[in-house]
């Protein structure tokens, strides 16, 4: 992981210099000044450029911090330290909104420039045909990721491909129809899944694989069903069903590849075996329970993850740029020196089933793999400064739930005075610049997510439902929870809630399901449990499904770009 992260971050700085050329240099050729025309010449040039395509998704606006902070604050399973973000109190001038938007367009412009230059050069020194296809497939998969986030977060921002990308970047932005995004996402990912390898060597960990592209294709078509077809009154149309079948087939490609599997608790299935099998998917080191090891980053359950390490390139607060790490641990972890902005809502504890739990557990073991409770060991490694230190509400969180009255001061029905976030916080990171510059890779898609999305697709199509149910029960069987007898919307909602809790999926799931009344999502009712007054009416249907387009972008458009409704 170290080598590729340093390489990516360094080449970002290199290519930033390339992109900073001013028009003055067009007058006289400067042999020492790189431009697009002079740079894209050799295979190594394209490799350096390709590496830079990965960095914007790791920046502070997306997986480095701000998207994680915003969308997890909004959801019903997490409490922010003040009620502002719990009430979706953002606007078109919000720096977090601006940062997300800016980083996504960095990715769009870089991938478009790469695709354009690769297409325009039929002969490239040192590049074979196979290498060309692999480079193109990586670029198009990454472009699809950036566009997927743009269309699902901002709905109608400006659409650019390699042909329409502006030559003059002072051209005003404009609104584009979401269908343009969805069409390119589908085409890019279909190309990518067919032209990428199943896996990469150790020096290339973090590059998108065929499985990663296929998984994102399936996810994109699932989201398109709600964000496009259901929203526009085309649910069940021939086009909708065709795209759902594309998703089904893409997920089956991943499932049948034999590359991925769930991390299973090993015999003797101690308490830690259950917890560590799940926690390995959000840890940064191999977890050891007795004689059993549970590899974490880039393990057999990981399909696509953003690579971080804790090497500092220079001073600053810019993940994926000045650092190779992220800022998430600084803001959300149980480290006493972190900001501890987030706390788990007690409702998530209550949502875990108690009936049928395996021996030694009073409820679904995933509760203990997801949350810290008072008395939990935060680090079991003897070499750690946190060795055998116990989680204590009020020290390792801010007891937000207790302050708002969700956890009473007496006759407390919960095993804690405040639940902490175990995912992406276990074991405690305590090296170098901790709690800043954390090395926890962020998982974009893991195998359990694919199994649950496949189950959802079979439910929507009402095809292969028995197989979909079997895949959902496979996720439950990992923790020895009893199989459910029927595949329903309620079962899908519950299983995604529990399995993927605190991993950044919940808000986006709730939003897409809310477009379809048959899924029974009442956002006002769900969000009312976040606020001390029990009022969730701040969620405005027709507004809060999408974020505002940044005001600076509206102002630059000279009237060509309209703000999203309600903002």
The domain made up of 33-256 is a member of CATH 1.25.40.390: yes
- Structure confidence by residue, pLDDT tens digits, 118-165: 999 999 999 999 999 999 999 999 999 999 999 999 999 999 999 999
> What are the tens digits of pLDDT across the range 40-64?
999 999 999 999 999 999 999 999 9
Mean pLDDT of the chain: 92
**pLDDT value of residue 322:** 80
Q: 333 near 344, Cβ under 8 Å?
A: no
Per-residue pLDDT, averaged over 177-192, amounts to 98
The domains of the chain are located at: 33-256, 272-295+326-435, 447-534
pLDDT of residue 456: 99
Q: At a CB cut-off of 8 Å and minimum separation 6, what does 163 contact?
A: 116
What's the burial of 378, exposed, middle or buried (CB within 10 Å: 0-12/13-18/19+)? buried
- HEC sequence for 434-461: CCCCECCCEEEEEHHHHHHHHHHHHHHH
Per the DSSP assignment, residues forming a β-bridge with 305 are 443
Q: How confident is the model at residue 208 (pLDDT cuts 50, 70, 90)?
A: very high
Q: How far, in Å, CA of 275 to CA of 284, rounded? A: 15
pLDDT tens sequence across 100-122 = 999 999 999 999 999 999 999 99
Which of 195, 196, 185, 191 has the alpha carbon at shortest distance from 219? 185
């Amino acid at each position: 992981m170290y080598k590729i992260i340093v390489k990516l971050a360094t080449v970002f700085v290199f290519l930033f210099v390339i992109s900073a050329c001013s028009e003055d240099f067009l007058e006289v050729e400067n042999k020492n000044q790189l431009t697009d025309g002079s740079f894209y010449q050799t295979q190594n040039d394209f490799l350096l450029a390709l590496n830079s395509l990965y960095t914007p998704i790791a920046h502070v606006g997306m997986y480095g911090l701000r998207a994680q902070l915003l969308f997890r604050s909004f959801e019903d399973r997490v409490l922010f330290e003040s009620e502002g973000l719990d009430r979706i109190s953002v606007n078109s001038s919000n720096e977090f909104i601006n940062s997300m938007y800016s980083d996504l367009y960095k990715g769009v412009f870089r991938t478009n420039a790469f695709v354009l230059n690769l297409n325009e050069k039929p002969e490239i020194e040192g590049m074979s045909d196979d290498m060309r296809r692999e480079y193109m497939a990586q670029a198009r998969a990454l472009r699809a990721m950036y566009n997927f986030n743009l269309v699902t977060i901002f709905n109608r921002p400006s659409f650019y491909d390699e042909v329409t990308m502006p030559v003059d970047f002072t051209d005003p932005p404009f609104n584009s129809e979401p269908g343009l995004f969805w069409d390119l996402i589908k085409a890019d990912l279909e190309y990518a899944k067919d032209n990428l390898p199943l896996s990469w060597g150790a020096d290339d960990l973090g590059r998108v694989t065929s499985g990663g592209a296929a998984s994102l294709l399936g996810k994109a078509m699932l989201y398109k069903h709600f964000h496009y077809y259901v929203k526009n009154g085309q649910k069940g149309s021939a086009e909708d069903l065709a795209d759902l079948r594309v998703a089904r087939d893409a997920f089956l490609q991943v499932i049948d590849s034999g590359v991925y599997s769930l991390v299973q608790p090993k015999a003797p299935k101690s308490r830690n075996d259950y917890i560590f099998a799940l926690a390995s998917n959000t840890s940064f080191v191999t977890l050891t329970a007795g004689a059993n090891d549970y590899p974490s980053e880039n393990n057999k359950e990981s399909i696509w993850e953003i690579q971080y390490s804790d090497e500092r390139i220079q001073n600053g607060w810019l993940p994926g740029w000045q650092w190779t790490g992220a800022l998430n641990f600084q803001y959300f972890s149980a480290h006493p020196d972190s900001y501890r902005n987030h706390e788990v809502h007690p409702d998530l504890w209550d949502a875990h089933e108690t009936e049928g739990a395996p021996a030694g557990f009073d409820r679904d073991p995933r509760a203990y793999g997801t949350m810290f409770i008072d008395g939990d060991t935060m680090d079991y490694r003897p070499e750690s400064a946190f060795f055998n230190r116990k989680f204590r509400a009020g020290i390792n969180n801010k007891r937000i739930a207790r302050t708002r009255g969700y956890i009473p001061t007496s006759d407390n029905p919960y095993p804690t005075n405040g639940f902490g976030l175990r995912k992406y916080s276990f074991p405690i990171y305590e090296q170098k610049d901790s709690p800043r510059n954390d090395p926890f890779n962020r998982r974009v898609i893991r195998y359990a997510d694919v199994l649950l999305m496949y189950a959802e697709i079979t439910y929507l199509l009402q095809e292969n439902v028995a197989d979909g149910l079997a895949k959902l029960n496979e996720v439950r069987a990992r923790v020895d929870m009893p199989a459910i007898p029927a595949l329903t919307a309620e079962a899908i909602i519950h299983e995604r809630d529990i399995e993927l809790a605190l991993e950044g999926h919940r808000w986006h799931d709730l939003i897409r399901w809310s477009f379809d009344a048959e899924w029974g999502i009442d956002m006002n009712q769900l969000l009312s449990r976040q606020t001390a007054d029990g009022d969730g009416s701040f969620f405005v249907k027709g507004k809060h499904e999408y974020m505002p387009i940044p005001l600076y972008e509206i102002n630059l458009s000279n009237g060509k770009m309209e703000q999203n409704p309600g903002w």
